Every structure is written in C-alpha cells, then in structure tokens.
Amino acid sequence: MKKNRHIVANVQPGSIAEELEITPGDEFLSINGSEIEDVFDYHYLLNDDYIELLVRKPDGEEWELQIEKDYEEDLGVAFENSLMDEYRSCSNRCIFCFIDQMPPGMRDTLYFKDDDSRLSFLQGNYVTLTNMNDHDIDRIIKYHLAPINISFHTTNPELRCRMLNNRFAGDIFPKVKRLWEAGIEMNGQIVLCKGINDGGELERSIRDLSEYLPHLSSVSVVPVGLSRYRENLCHLEAFTREDALEVLGILEKWRTKLYREHGNHFVHPGDEWYILAGLPIPEEEEYDGYPQLENGVGMLRLLEEEIREALETRKPDDRKHRISIATGELAAPFIRKHLDAVREKYPGITGEVYAIRNEFFGPLITVSGLITGQDLKEQLQGRELGERLLIPCNMLRAGENVFLDDLTVEELEKFLGVPIQVVDPAGEDFVRAVTEEKIAIKHRRRQIYEQADCSNCRTT
C-alpha cells in the first residue's frame, strides 16, 4: 500500500497550529505515536485533551509537539489532500455506468469513477463494496462511520457479477452482514435496468434486503440513465409509462407490507418513476424523513414543502421585476408550478421557466444536473430572460463556476447578456431568488467534500 504524505496546505489564523508555528509545507507524521492513514484516523486521534504530534519541516527537521487542548478542538490546519489518502476508483465495469456513456475530450475528473466508502460517509456517494477488504470494514466499525450508502442493484450473486462485470461482485453480503451486526446505518440503491434486474429479480432483491432492517434503513430504486454515447456498450432499453406503472406496483406492494410490519416504507421509488407514469409525487409522510435525498428521491416533494413554508411567512406586496429560470425537462413542470405559487403572493413578479432539452447527452437525459453550458447557450439565445436568469446549483461542479463542458457561468452570462444567479436547492433559496430584486448574485456552487464528480449520484 502506498504511504501518503500529509502536507499542510494552509493554517487558520489564531489557531493552535499557528501558535505552534506550523506552516504550509509541514508534514504530519503521527499522533500519539500512531501513523495517520486518512482523515478519519486524523480526527479520531485528535479527539483528546492531550496529544503528541510529530511534524517534519520542509528542511527535514522533525518537531515533537506536546499539545493540551479541549477534547474535540481542532488544530486549525487544512491538508493538500483533504481525504489524506488516495481516492479509490471503481474496479467494476457496470453495464449501466454513466461514466462509460461520456463522450471523449472532456476534463479528466469527469471520467473518474469513485468507489470509496469514506466518500459515502462524507458526501453521500454510493459504493459497491467490491474493493473493500476486512481492514476497511474494521475501520468503519471502529469509527462507527454512518451512514454507508451501498449500490446493491440485485441480491442475485450471479446476476450482480454480470451487471457489474466483476466476478467478485456477488460476494459482498458477508460484509453487509458484518456492518448490520455492528449496528452501522446503511442505505441502499438499485439502478433498475429493463429486462435485467426488474420484475421477479426486483422482488427478490427487496425481499432479501429487507432482512437487514432496521440498520439498512432504506433502499432507493431509480431508472437507468441512458445517454446517446452508448456505442459498443451493453444494449439497454428505456422504460415506458407502462413499465413505470409496473415497477411502481411492485414497489408499492412492498412499501405497504414493510410499513405495516416495521413502520418503515423501506423501499423508495425515484421521482422519475412517478413522472414517467403520469402519477402525482407522494406526500411528505411517504418518504420516512427523506433518507434517500442524496440520491434524488423525494427532492421534488421536499422542494414544494419548503417553498410552501417559506411563502407562509411572507407578506404580499407590489414589488415588480422579471426573471427567468432554466432547468431540466424533468423538473420544469414543477418549477413552473412553484413560480406560479410565488406569483400568487407577488403578482408584480413575472417570469418564464425554460425546459432545456439535453442535446449533448441525448433526449433520454432529462435531469438538470447533466445540462451543459452549450445547450443553455443555444436554447436561451434570443429568449426573453428578464433582469436575471436563475439556474440550479447542480448544473455546476461543487465549489466551481463551470458546467460539464467547461463553459463558465461568466462566459454564458456575457453571451446571453443577462446576470445569472446560481440557486441552492432549498425552497427558501428559491423563493428568495425569485422575489428579491437586490440580492448578491453568486456564480459558484457551494463547496462540498469531494475529489471529483460523483460517478453515480443522482442529479435531479
């Protein structure tokens, strides 16, 4: 195993580290005589009121620092590698992997497939467990890292090996059992592929996974995303309305059964199923507190509830301005409905919601998180955009101002000739963005803990 160097990138002013004359370029070697494997070791070893820290200066001199502090007090440093370890890439070749459906010529980070259980805990990524060994499971249990989000897809070992193109992929359930026995909270995911892991295989998966209740507290079922870049890949078909109704029928049967037995609906359909089937989004109580929100399940319901609550606290007035909103085809009807709700209280506000067709990845991709700057340019050029154009933050990479095709927000803003405002996902943020004329316009999505774009996250 490659040994990682933990190099200080910056030191917070007024911190313990600054007082001890720790500077950028210093290397942390050990805490209390224990080597630091990654960020979890670091924080675990740091949680004491007395520590001995071994630091190597850039000239090779080693300092042993004895530090008295509050129990959970941080030293005030950030490292060059925020995970303090190499990021683990995926060793599978899943038949549905969206990274394999990317065109050539894009930035390198978009082709990185993460399969790192630590990122599962830190930012909600889903992992297959195929590259985890006993040591990794031991550390999850030792630090009680939870929740861990697991991509199951099927509980049929032979089918799982075929779907992940990995002959070891069917041997994960002893690991799941260890996590369950240790009381580690887990969430599951099934990416459903038509004619492969649906129907009877879906029923088998739900039946098997429900045995891990209550620590496996939820399983989402989402339809496979199919881009137009699938040459030489496994043949997969898009789901139809009739398919969606059949899937929802299976899921609703199990949701009713498991709620009656456990007080938990357990299995949660992705929002796309209801839209495809032409059915209303379920009420809030159906989502059991939104355990699968990181996977895009219940986002549309939560947004509606948050917008309703935000509007209830506001008083109507005669403010007047015009805005526009660009979003994906999936969310556009809902955003129009929410804009109308805002206008009921503020009739002087006018605006238009533009559903952006995904020409880059193909018409089967309807989520806003996979819209490129080029599609925005071409489809918004010459449109009436008002005084501001609002776009959802998931169009951008975390902490940055670039779309998937590397067009910047500033470049799009200059091309369209209108200020662009990036809106965070909360309903309150939506209401503020629509209603407030004098608002600080930001061009970046807020930073989350990440190394590269999530390889299998949902982007509704």
Whole-number Å distance between alpha carbons of 413 and 161: 46
State the average pLDDT over residues 194-205: 98
| pLDDT exceeds 60 at position 235 | yes
| pLDDT of 438 higher than 90 | no
Q: What is the mean pLDDT of residues 370-386?
A: 96
Pick from 47-56, 120-129, 193-202, 435-444: least confident: 435-444
CA distance 451 to 398: 10
Q: What is the pLDDT of residue 439?
A: 61
Looking at residue 457, what is its pLDDT? 34
Give the pLDDT confidence of 245-266 residue by residue, as tens digits: 999 999 999 999 999 999 999 9
| Structure token digits, residue 394 | 């998931």
CB 114 within 8 A of CB 87: yes
For the chain, what is the mean pLDDT?
89
Confidence of residue 125 (pLDDT cuts 50, 70, 90): confident
Burial status of residue 325 (CB atoms within 10 A of its CB: 0-12, 13-18, 19 or more): buried
Range from 68-72, 206-210, 316-320, 456-460 carrying the lowest mean pLDDT? 456-460
Q: Among 13-17, 201-205, 451-455, which stretch is predicted with the lowest mean pLDDT?
A: 451-455
Percent of the chain past pLDDT 70, that is, above it, reads: 89
The predicted structure's pLDDT at residue 126? 85
Quickly state the pLDDT bin for 448 (edges 50, 70, 90).
very low
What pLDDT sits at residue 91? 78
Angle between helices 134-143 and 173-181 (to 10 degrees): 20
Report which listed range, 79-88, 132-141, 307-316, is most confident. Answer: 307-316
**Per-residue model confidence (pLDDT) at position 40:** 77
Query: Which position has the higher pLDDT, 457 or 425?
Result: 425
Given this model, what pLDDT does residue 400 score? 78
Rounded mean pLDDT of 146-166?
A: 94
Which pLDDT belongs to residue 447?
A: 35
Closest CA relative to residue 324, chosen from 259, 402, 382, 405: 382
* pLDDT at 88 > cutoff 90: no
The structure's pTM equals 0.82
Mean pLDDT of 131-142: 87
Q: Residues 355-370: what's their mean pLDDT?
A: 94
Between 4 and 393, residue with greater pLDDT: 393
Domains of the chain: 6-79 (2.30.42.10), 99-296 (3.80.30), 304-435 (3.40.50)
Task: Give the C-alpha separation, 168 to 188, whole Å.
Answer: 19
Mean pLDDT of 6-23: 94
Does position 5 have pLDDT exceeding 80, yes or no? yes
